[in-house]
Amino acid sequence: MHKRHLSILCLLALSSAAVGADEPTVNGDRIQQHITALSKFGANPEGGVSRVAFSDADIAGRKYAVGLMQEAGLTLRTDAGGNIIGRREGSNAKLPPILIGSHIDSVPSGGNYDGDVGVLGAIEVAQTLKERGVRLKHPLEVVIFADEEGGTVGSFAMIGRLQPAALDLMTQSGKTIGEGIRAIGGDPEHLADAARKPGDLKAYVELHIEQGGILEETDVDIGVVEGIVGIRWWDVTIEGVPNHAGTTPMNHRRDALLSAAEFVLAVNRVATSMPGRQVATVGRLRAEPGAPNVIPGKVVLSLEIRDLDAAKMTAVYDAVRAEADKIAQARQTPFTFAQLKVSSEPAPTDQRLQRIIAKAAGALKLTSKVMPSGAGHDAQEIAHIAPTGMIFVPSVGGVSHSPKEFTSQQDMANGANVLLQTVLAIDRGELR
Ligand SMILES: [Zn+2]
């Protein structure tokens, strides 16, 4: 980490000519101050935050961020989905807005950077443009999406896909999604009002912490996200025969947990034996009846597969199914697979925006690398209706969804500067 930061400092010192002293740059101290101030809302004893969507802490944190948006000269509204949108008019009223932002809700016992860096970085971009008197041609909109961690609820509403049935689902706050949206100023009865159509946005660009350790390990400043991986989940049920663990000889057993053990190993073998970056995980396993003196008659376990390529996800699944068939036959324990609705398909980012982001990093004398996002983001939803790009900054130790989450002030400022340069490039017409 030290080596990298030293090299960045050297590069930054050299780079002032490349970026131009008259070019606007963000104020890193101010981003850090805002991160520290936002961390007070829902602060937990471990040093992170428990600011789950729709909680009192979330509502108070949003109020704080709204104050920053007002200071940055943005005109505020909350859409029907509960998304806060701050707008700065451009010089050409006919042009669609450039949207930037992220979320500030957290997982229970989360950290101070996931989502927050993207929102505060976007507000910093607006503040910098205001202070420097830069008038864009396009309107600029800064968004704080509602309830990202509960399943990208706000961005789902923005693309017109949040169905009324979802409003009854309970959230970590103790409110349903519908009650939560109402509590933060949205209008769950008129969700369609929040929907934007293809063409309504010039582009969406989200700055976010990597939440993995690749940038830090490879000593790279900026991740240019090539896409958000798809996630498919299954409940897998294995049927055996429960019986007395003392009186049933070893060769007369149909032990569902034994089959499950072989299956867990097979999933890992399949995922690691194929070329590529696919991942597959068994993360939950329940054996029934769950007594020390009974042979397990049934196991229900989870299977999760992630990749940027939908065809690759299918290939991994097919190979896992073939392994399951073999185990089922050998041990006389049938497997059934039920795919869950929470599954999401891969969302590639816009290749032109990838180039613009990489070029912006280069102009700032920052190193960058193209990489997938293994975590879900609001960007995966907005990608359905607008050219979408994502900028990653390093997460120390690759730790996220934890109070130990950390990103340095320099890296946050680097990311916000890349976001600023990306917005300027889009406004100049480089997204063609
Ligand atoms: Zn996030």
Instruction: Tell me, in angstroms, the distance from the centre of ligand 1 to residue 93's CA.
Output: 32
Centre of ligand 1 to C-alpha 114, Å, is 5
Q: What is the helix, strand, coil percentage profile of the chain, to 5?
A: 40, 20, 40
Contact indicator for 237, 335 with CB cutoff of 8 Å:
yes
- Cα 256 to middle of ligand 1, angstroms: 38
What separation in Å is there between the alpha carbon of 399 and the centre of ligand 1? 13
C-alpha 136 – ligand 1 centre gap (Å)? 28
Ligand 1 centroid to Cα of residue 187, in Å, is: 24
* Model confidence, pTM: 0.85
Q: Furthest-apart CA pair in the chain: how many Å?
A: 84
> Ligand 1: distance of its center to the CA of 198 in Å?
24
3-state SS class at 330 = helix
- Tell me, in angstroms, the distance from the centre of ligand 1 to residue 229's CA: 14
Q: How far away, in angstroms, is 265 Cα from ligand 1 center?
A: 31
The answer to whether 75 and 88 have CB atoms below 8 angstroms apart is yes
Contact 220, 395 (CB under 8 A): no
pLDDT of residue 361: 98
The pLDDT score that the predictor gives to residue 143 is 98
Ligand 1 centre distance from Cα of residue 115 (Å):
4
Distance from residue 7's CA to the centre of ligand 1 (Å): 28
CA 235 / ligand 1 centre spacing (Å):
26
User: Kind of pairing, strands 84-88 and 335-339?
Assistant: unpaired
Distance 53 CA to ligand 1 centre (A): 12
* C-alpha of residue 6 to centroid of ligand 1, in Å: 28
Measured CA to CA, the distance from residue 223 to residue 312 in angstroms comes to 23
Rounded to whole angstroms, the Cα distance separating 161 from 163 reads 6
CA of 151 to the centre of ligand 1 (A): 11
Output the CA 148–ligand 1 centroid distance in Å: 7
Place of tokens 């947990």: 257
341: left (phi over 0), alpha (psi -120 to 50) or beta: alpha
The amino acid that residue 96 corresponds to is: P
What local confidence, expressed as pLDDT, does residue 18 receive? Answer: 67
Residue 274 and residue 231: Cα distance in Å, rounded?
18
pLDDT along the chain (432 residues), means of 10: 42 49 91 98 95 97 98 98 98 97 96 98 98 97 97 95 93 96 97 97 98 97 96 96 96 97 98 95 96 97 95 97 98 96 87 98 97 94 97 96 96 98 97 90
Q: Is 54 in a helix, a strand, or coil? A: coil
What's the 207 CA to ligand 1 centre distance in angstroms? 10
pLDDT of residue 22: 79
- For ligand 1, the distance from its centroid to the CA atom of residue 291, given in whole angstroms, is 40
